[in-house]
Amino acid sequence: MPTYTVDTAGSTAELSSILNGVREYTLTGMAHLMDGSPQRPSAEAYIRVKDGRIAESGYGTPRGSDSTSTTVEIRGGAIVPGFVDPHIHLGLAAQSTSGTVDCNVDDHPSIDAIVGELVDNLPTADAREGWLIGRANLFTDQRLVDRRLPDRRDLDKVSTTIPIALRCGAHVTILNSAALERLSERLGDEELRGDASVELGEGGTPTGEIHELFHRLDVPSPSQDELEDELARLSRDLLLANGVTTLGEISDSRDMLESVLRLHARGDIQQTAHLYLTVPWAFSDTTEALEWLDGRPCGLTTGPEAATVRGIKLFIDGGFSAKGAATLMPYTLRGSDTQPNYGRLAYGFDDLVAILHEAEGRGLDVLAHANGERAQWLLCSAAMGVESRRTMIRAEHGLNWVSQAATVQIFKDAAVTPVPQASFIWHLAPFLPNYLGAAAERGRMSFRRYFDEGMPVGVASDATGSEMKIFAPLFNMALTMDRHGCNGDPVEPDQAVTFAEALWMHTKGAAAAMGLDGAAGALTKDSAADWVILSNDPGSSNDLSRTAVWAVARSGALAWTAAQ
């Protein structure tokens, strides 16, 4: 039995050479989550891989190895499961980064800086059939020195004839006058639904701020080839390179869904992928989405190599940045506000129950965007009306902020899976009190509390391309451990978790949130042999500042190394 020793302080070339074409081998070294427990510290362990799956794993000395198999001892690093991201917008990120102007607030700290960047890039509008699209961040208004969003008049300084749209995350977009005219022509007398809105200033004049309406603009998409090239690049450079081996993709168009399926089929997207049909982005309503699914492979089929349409994604409410999240307490009054605002609900109880019943009948999971507790309570109440469920009902952003203890209990009672975001510690938590007052200084991403109360949660990134850092699970894990926001302020440091707990949230817990418990996110017998080698073992120090992804395997085959 050939035995090799590989040190993560050196090159990955030796590991690549050893494992090239090998279908059965054993890795030994310091490892985490061998038995799926977030409480067990790292220890010497082994995994034996055969035909793409884990044939055996455990602590201590390998047992049952074939005398002809290869053994590789990993020194200096740590072996962990492949990371799982249950809620990501790869397609939206590809659109965000293709042919757009980078106006991120880290490099453009003021409105004048953003305007200057757009002016410098006016010639690029030709590539988007006359449109100029800028890409800023979530909570741009809180992160700029101006402490406000740009408005129509600011963007008119760039041009009054070329339509300009500045995206500030997935929910909020700022338009100049030319773009507002184009939007008005497309909307006509249509009554806006859900959280979609055109914000008005004094005298009823549009400010340029729109919510949930970017998809209604006549912005030409990049060509299919351009988008698919960008999808493949992001999947490789931002996900696989960061150790993500399983993902839940929420696309904003049916063309994007088809592209993801096509890329997966030809191996350009290597992750196991569950896809979800978005209402009302990709489809006008659930009926249209379900009709589109007829005749397509979907539902409960899963596998280590699968790319399948797994369910539908609804928007029960909106985002906190747009004051659309349906909360139990009113938003603080600012500017022209005169009446208390508790956010908006897009569905009534009976309509939501009907949708959940129809999805259950078709074997489809339901992912519900439910930022605010009022939306989460509505979803859980509706879920209680669906008996003998085979499918999952998930509350996307559930338990990100909890002001009432009853919220945690209602999730347990309804058997609804909350999927919060560790990444929101970075860009939401520091600014939530500005929207909801002093009450929002507590209850933000209370992951320590959820572990202590026996309800640990798997988390997702919700990466859309507006915050590139959050594609990396190690970055998001560090947020749960050191609890600092993008402005440097601490965010409830008493809610910090350990490295092992953070790892569980991004692997086994995240896999369970996708209905893949036992199939992904753990180094246990019969699970997919998706493993990651970290450059060092952060378990003893509980410090990720010097840790990087060193090598990644998909179904036992080396898929990415640091040399790439």
pLDDT tens, position by position, 114-167 = 999 999 999 988 777 899 999 998 889 989 999 999 999 999 999 999 999 999
Higher local confidence (pLDDT), 35 or 406:
406
Residue 179 in domain: yes
**Same domain (yes/no): 126, 166:** yes
Is 517 domain-assigned? no
Q: Which of 201, 216, 231 is the last residue of a domain?
A: 216
Domain contains 426: no
H-type alpha helices, 307-372: 349-361
**391-443 residue pLDDT tens:** 999 999 999 999 999 999 999 999 999 999 999 999 999 999 999 999 999 99
N-to-C CA span, the chain: 29
Are residues 144 and 112 part of one domain? yes
Do 104 and 69 share a domain, yes or no? no
Residues 209 and 103 occupy one common structural domain: yes
Pick 279 or 51 by higher pLDDT: 51
* pLDDT class of 450 with cuts at 50, 70, 90: very high
User: Based on the number of CB atoms within 10 Å of its own CB, is 163 exposed (0-12), middle (13-18) or buried (19 or more)?
Assistant: buried
- 69 and 114 share a domain? no
Residues 137, 57: one domain? no
Average pLDDT over residues 27-49: 84
For the chain, percent of residues with pLDDT exceeding 90: 68
- Does position 63 have pLDDT exceeding 90, yes or no? no
Query: Is the predicted pLDDT of residue 301 greater than 90, yes or no?
Result: no
Report, as an integer, the average pLDDT of 486-503. Answer: 95
For residues 17 and 62, state if they share a domain. yes
> Residue 61 is part of a domain; what is its CATH number?
2.30.40.10
Q: Looking at the domain assignment, is residue 106 inside a domain?
A: yes
pLDDT at res. 337:
64
| Share of residues in the chain with pLDDT > 70 (%) | 95
Tokens found for residue 489: 């302020």
User: Looking at residues 10-25, what average pLDDT do you find?
Assistant: 93
Q: Among 104-118, 306-320, 444-458, where is mean pLDDT lowest?
A: 306-320
Are residues 125 and 53 part of one domain? no
Q: Which of 20-24, 84-88, 258-262 has the highest mean pLDDT?
A: 84-88
- Output the six-digit token pair for 154: 């600011």
Q: Return the structure tokens found at 528.
A: 């997919």
Residue 346 lies in a domain: no
Q: Which is higher by pLDDT, 225 or 36?
A: 225
User: Which among 166, 198, 216 is the end of a domain?
Assistant: 216
Residue 447 counted as domain residue: no
- The residue with greater pLDDT, 295 or 15, is 15
Confidence class for position 507, pLDDT limits 50, 70, 90: very high
The predicted structure's pLDDT at residue 558: 96
Cα–Cα distance for residue pair 484/425, rounded to 1 Å: 7
The answer to whether residues 78 and 103 belong to one domain is no
Residue at 468: amino acid letter: M
Measure the CA–CA gap between 552 and 558, rounded to whole angstroms.
6
Q: Which two tokens stand for residue 1?
A: 């039995």
- CA dihedral for 22, 23, 27, 33, sign (positive or negative): positive
pLDDT tops 80 at residue 64: no
- Examine the domain organization and report whether 35 and 112 are in the same domain: no
Residues in the chain: 564
Mean pLDDT (the chain) is: 90
pLDDT for residue 453: 92
Domain count for the chain: 2
DSSP 20: T
Q: How far apart are CA 395 and CA 417, in angstroms?
A: 6
- 9: amino acid identity, one letter: A
Of 185, 216, 247, which residue is a domain's last?
216
The stretch 221-226 carries a mean pLDDT of 84
336: pLDDT strictly greater than 70: no
Tell the residue number behind the tokens 């605002």, with chain if given.
341
Q: Decide if 323 is inside a domain.
A: no
In a domain, 383, yes or no: no
**75 and 104, same domain (yes or no):** no
Q: How confident is the model at residue 562 (pLDDT cuts 50, 70, 90)?
A: very high
pLDDT for the residue 302: 39
**C-alpha span between 394 and 365 (Å, rounded):** 8
How does residue 305 score in pLDDT terms, banded at 50, 70 and 90?
low
Choose the weakest-confidence range: 287-296, 348-357, 448-457. 287-296
Please state, in angstroms and rounded to a whole number, the distance separating the CA atoms of residues 315 and 280.
8
Residues 31, 121 within the same domain:
no
Domain of residue 176, residue span: 99-216
Task: Give the per-residue pLDDT at 297.
Answer: 54
Mean pLDDT of 549-553: 98
Confidence band, pLDDT 50/70/90 cuts, at residue 300: very low
